[in-house]
Structure 1
Amino acid sequence: METSLDPLDDVEELRRTRAPDEDALIDGVHILTTVLLIAALVSSVNLPFGEAALNLLLGSGFAVLYFYGTALLPEWREPTALAWLFSLTMLWVLAMMISPVGIYLVFTLFFLYLRVMDDIRGVVAVIAATLASVFTQVPNGLTVGGVMGPAVSAGVVLAIHYAFRTLIRISREREELIAQLINTRTQLAETERAAGVAAERQRLAHEIHDTVAQGLSSIQMLLHSADRDLEKLGLSPEQLAGPTRFIDLARTTARDNLSEARAMIAALTPASLQETSLEAALERMAAGFAAAGELTIDVGVEGAVRQLPMRTEAALLRIAQGAVGNVAKHAAASRCRVTVTYEPDEVRLDVVDNGRGFDPATVQERPAGLGHVGLDAMRQRAAEQGGVLEVEATPGYGTAVSVAIPLPEDAAETTTLEPETSNEEGA
């Protein structure tokens, strides 16, 4: 999810975006404002005719401006909202001068200040309005209640606003976490399914290779031997014509079926690695990331290269994709090095960059799903192969991701599914 880099933009977005939990607070403010406006208008009966008319005009103007503005507030930019809020404040000041009951409209303004200016400006505005409501009482005699009333009200409103903002923030973080968890679960499910399909395709390819293809190739070799032994019997061409014809037909049939078996093996071999080696697949992945940004990615291989089990190669490729993807998106690096090292008993993948680095301890302390799902996924992939993933990073000095996967004893004997060749026909 994209976030703004400007704090003022975040404030503006928060003001214009209303969470469901905030609806209850806004509805409560509407009800409170309606009650206060009714009380202010009713107080006109105790005023002289001219003041009563002015009080009715100010109260009606405040009501129209308030309800009109609150309906359009989510669509307004901040300058328009501030102008609307300033107009309400001026009407409130004039109403206080006409009727003492008008002072209570400050409750509404408290909530509006904090809603429109959801930062330190809103708190300052609440304090300023509190002082204004207190000073207007000075000509008629200032009392403890006259001071405590606005002050306590301001404190209560600030506490309510803080509580609601905290609940809204927690709710949004929970929604974001749930969305990330769902995406992660979906990705893991797709990964597991793809890994299962790849493993089954590889198993079938090996089964066909080790049974059908090898059997057909052996049949061709046996037929070749039978043909050679017939020639040693010293039979006449007429006597050899019949057996030789059947042998040739059997060899042709075996050759055709062997070609079909090899086609099936090629089709079942996982597409990501069927036509290239692990190094070539890594180079192709690196070229894609390098083309997407200003990043130079080198791929190197050390040790005696050999064919690995398909699941191991697929895991190394996916881990490399995740690590290089993190470099491209987060590291602000200019160079990255991907190295595959073949050891007798293990294979190791190292991804090193010269980016800005980070504090692994800080990332590890975050709840799962908030910023390091990629590392967790890479660790899980390594663990599924019996390996261990380590991350070394220092802020300002780059990052190194290393994974070591042990290899079974027969891994060195694992070979690519190359076509067999017979002594005669390249079967």
Structure 2
Amino acid sequence: MRNELDVENLAKRGGQPGAMSYRNSIHIMTATLLVVGLGASARLSLPLFALACVLLLAWGFLYFWGSSKRVDISHPMQLAWLFLLTLVWIIMVPIVPISIYMLFPLFFLYLQVMPDVRGIIAVIGATSIAIASQYPNGLTVGGVMGPAVSAIVSIAIDYAFRTLWRVNNEKQELIDQLIETRSQLAETERNAGIAAERQRIAHEIHDTVAQGLSSIQMLLHVAEQEILAKDEVENPHAAALDKIRLARNTASDNLSEARAMIAALQPAALSQTSLEDALHRVTQPLLGIHFVINVDGDVRQLPMKTEATLLRIAQGAIANVAKHSEAKNCHVTLTYEENEVRLDVVDDGVGFDPEQVRAQPAGLGHIGLSALHQRARELNGEVVVESAYGQGTAVSVALPVDAN
């Protein structure tokens, strides 16, 4: 009922399509009925005419005052106002028979104030009173059909407008969600673009400037050692040696600056630690799971992009373990081989059915696995996921690396 009341409040304030016309039409119809009722009362005797005027004016005042204040007062107060309107109408019908047509605005008020089964019951009750009020003068087919058809038409009109408003609300919610999703996608794409560009720049610096400076430093160091070896007794090349040392020191300083730039651009976990240390840092904040990290093979410096991709995949797999597996233990193994590096994340959790997950449309809860596969494919790698209910999960990723 709360949602229906919210719809009605929005409609009353003109926040729904056709709400203003709907409200004004009822007001115009009510004002017209009041004027007709006053005109029809002129044929009554003076005392009855005076009483009819008082009742009609009182009913009209209650109607228009309550209609202007209805949204701002509590629901019990609205029910009390509606009861008072109905009571005045019941007293007025025997005195001013034409006031039976005041049923129309009453019907709409019942359905608006009580947008549930209570409103329908109130409409049926008022219809019954209108029909019963004609009994002393004799019931006719028109006398019965008039109020009954009026009730059906009022319910149909109210239902049509309420459906229109509900559909409009649903469309507006959908539009708001689409706008929010578009903003989130734009922000995600922007962040992804920034991250990709930072990664590209860091990779370029690492493969060009840093490597070149490192080579210059080593060559100058070798040249310095050769000159020193040939001049053990005398050192006629002191000036040349000074220049070589200066060049080597400059190359060393620039190499340090280049590495600092690379560290600032690569993932934070790798900025000051090795890949193994970064894995320890990823698992350290996760409580309730015992993580064991092993490194096999000859540990060596990998290309920055490979290390960053391995770390991101490890973060995704470990996050899945923490969120979904209910595991007690998890083993993370980093294996360095001649032509590839492999990362294995194995847990003893509840497991799942990989085939069932792959059969689901993208975006239904397994986007994490899709991200792992996507990251591996970017470096011509492969991700294998093995799991079964009650038997834990094993995620293995292999990335090719240059043996040199």
TM-score range, shorter chain: 0.7 to 0.9
| Aligned partner (choices 10, 13, 26) of residue 17 of structure 1 | 10
Quick check: 1:349–1:404 contact (8 Å CA) kept in 2? yes
Structure 1 window deviating more from structure 2 (118-127 vs 232-241): it is 232-241
Report the CA distance between 1:24 and its aligned residue: 2.4
* Percent identical: 40
Aligned twin of 1:54: 51
Deviation at 1:238, TM superposition (A): 3.9
**AA partner of residue 242 (structure 1):** A
Distance (whole Å) between structure 2 residues aligned to residue 184 and residue 57 of structure 1: 59
- Aligned residue in 1 for 2:400: 409
Query: How much has 1:12 moved relative to structure 2?
Result: 4.1
Which secondary structure state, in structure 2, belongs to the residue aligned with residue 239 of structure 1?
A: coil
In the alignment, is the contact (CA less than 8 A) between 1:324 and 1:351 conserved in 2?
yes
Separation in structure 1 between the aligned mates of residue 170 and residue 116 of structure 2, nearest angstrom: 20
Which of 183, 208, 218 is the aligned partner of 1:211?
208
1:281 CA displacement: 4.5
* Alpha-carbon displacement from aligned partner over 1:203-253 (angstroms, at most 9, x marks no partner): 111111121112111211111111111122135444132122111111111
TM-score (norm 2): 0.75
Which structure carries more relative contact order (alpha carbon 8 Å, separation 6+)?
1
| Matched residue count | 368
Q: Distance in 2 between matches of 1:58 and 1:350?
A: 83
Q: 1:221 to 1:274 in 2, by over 3 A?
A: closer
1:249 equivalent in structure 2 = 246
Distance 1:225 1:213, change over 3 A: same
Tell me the CA shift for residue 104 of structure 1.
Answer: 0.5
- 2: CA distance, partners of 1:194 / 1:299: 33
Comparing 223-232 with 168-177, greater Cα deviation is found at 223-232
Contact 1:17 1:74 in 2 (8 A): no
Matches within 5 A, 1:328-347: none
How far off is 1:49 after superposition? Answer: 1.0
Q: Distance in 1 between matches of 2:195 and 2:48?
A: 85
Match of 2:65 in 1: 68
User: Which sections of structure 1, spanning at least 5 residues, go unmatched?
Assistant: 1-7, 288-295, 328-332, 355-359, 366-371, 415-427
Consecutive unaligned residues of structure 2, counting only runs of 5 or more, are 297-301, 335-339, 351-355
Q: Where does 1:8-407 land on structure 2 (aligned, <5 Å)? A: 8-18=1-11, 19-21=15-17, 22-234=19-231, 236-271=233-268, 274=271, 277=278, 280-281=281-282, 298=289, 310=308, 375=365, 385=375
Deviation at 1:298, TM superposition (A): 4.7
What whole-Å deviation, never above 9, does each CA across 1:338-373 have from its counterpart, x for those lacking one?
97977989979999999xxxxx99xx89xxxxxx97
What is the DSSP-based 3-state SS (H/G/I as helix, E as strand, rest coil) of the residue aligned with 1:201? helix
The SS at the match of 1:20 is coil
Secondary structure at the residue paired with 1:142?
coil
The 8 Å contact of residues 7 and 165 in structure 2, kept in 1 or not, is answered as no
Tell me how far 1:409 sits from its aligned partner.
Answer: 3.0
Structure 1 residues 123 and 199, CA gap change in structure 2 (3 angstroms): same
C-alpha displacement of 1:68: 1.1
Cα-Cα RMSD: 4.3
Residues 199 and 242 (structure 1 numbering): CA distance in 2 closer, same or farther, change over 3 Å?
A: same
Distance 1:198 1:227 in 2: 41
Preserved CA contact (<8 Å) 1:12 1:78? no
Q: Which amino acid aligns with 2:200?
A: R
- Partners of 2:10 and 2:126 lie apart in 1 by 26
Partner Cα distance (1:338, 1:37) in 2? 81
- The Cα offsets for residues 64-89 of structure 1, whole Å up to 9 and x where unpaired, read as 11111111111111011111111111
Matched residue of 2:139: which SS?
A: coil
Structure 2 match to 1:292: none
Whole-angstrom CA distance in 2 between matches of 1:41 and 1:232:
126
Q: Using structure 1 for the length normalisation, give the TM-score.
A: 0.72
Q: Return the alpha-carbon distance in structure 1 between the equivalents of residues 99 and 113 of structure 2.
A: 22
Q: Is the 8 A contact 2:342 2:396 kept in 1?
A: yes
C-alpha displacement at 1:14, in angstroms? Answer: 3.6
Secondary structure of residue in 1 paired with 2:210: helix
